[in-house]
Amino acid sequence: MNRGFALLAAIFFAALMANTARAENPVMIVDDPAVLAALDARGFGFAGIFDVDGKGDLKTLYEKAPAYHQIVETIAGDVAALRAVMKAGGRPLYEVTDGNVGRIIDMRWLKTDAARFRLVGVVNRLDRRDFAEIRGDGGCGEVRFIYRLAYSFKKNGKVLASRLPFNFNAIYSTAPDADGGCVGVAGRWTPQLDETVDIGWLIGGPLEKAGLSFKQLELNAQVV
């Protein structure tokens, strides 16, 4: 009788834990290509940062988004200045070359319909909460969306496609819980044992747009 009761209690406890227990670790980075492609197509694309609808090609973005246009022109000015300094020092740089010489990014990539910035990663930076407290922001860290420059076009009947070492990091501040804490925010990044980290879980949980506010855009690029 006691043995049967103990077995029943063990089964009940296991069932209870299956319903309430969470995975051991929270999700810190989303890098699954299929999930990222789905997010890109569901309102988390690079063009959405600038409130531009469409396929997200950079020609359209350059023409329709004044903020992106200004970003490109600012980068172009910095690249031109660097190029002039390098040339004055005896090392000219070239956008296109087969020789063993210095190369520099071709700025036309940032305003062509053959290129776009693709979502390649989403990073949970709840640890940035400490910096928010120092500034008095009262937020629960950040969520970072990483976009990488990619191109695809046809030449002589063949599709040429690749990525370039040119990335934008879109940073969003995360709103705190109703009580001002971050326990709920942290919990939303930790899936239940029976949950899958897919687009539905992300959009309905840690990436719910109501809890995110755009903070800044950072550039990480290899231009030379």
- Tell me the pTM: 0.84
How many CA atoms within 13 Å lie on the side-chain side of 8? 5
Token pair in block for residue 202: 């992300």
8 Å CB contact between 119 and 147: yes
Spatial distance between the Cα atoms of 49 and 111, rounded to a whole number of angstroms: 16
The pLDDT tens digits for 149-174 are 999 999 899 999 999 999 999 999 99
| pLDDT value, residue 25 | 83
| pLDDT, averaged across the chain | 86
| pLDDT value, residue 2 | 54
The pLDDT tens digits for 94-104 are 777 777 778 78
| pLDDT value, residue 22 | 43
Identify the three-state secondary structure at position 192: strand
Token pair in block for residue 78: 């910095």
The residues near 214 (Cβ < 8 Å, ≥ 6 apart) are 49, 170, 171, 172
**Of 193, 216, 191, nearest to 206 (Cα)?**
191
The pLDDT tens digits for 35-73 are 999 999 999 999 999 999 877 899 999 999 999 999 999
Percent of residues, the chain, with pLDDT higher than 90: 62
How many CA atoms within 13 Å lie on the side-chain side of 198? 4
| pLDDT value, residue 32 | 96
Residue 29's beta-bridge partner residues?
Answer: 123
Q: State mean pLDDT over 218-223.
A: 91
Token pair in block for residue 26: 């929270």
Residue 206 pLDDT > 80: yes
Q: What is the dihedral of CA 62, 64, 67, 69, to 10 degrees?
A: 30
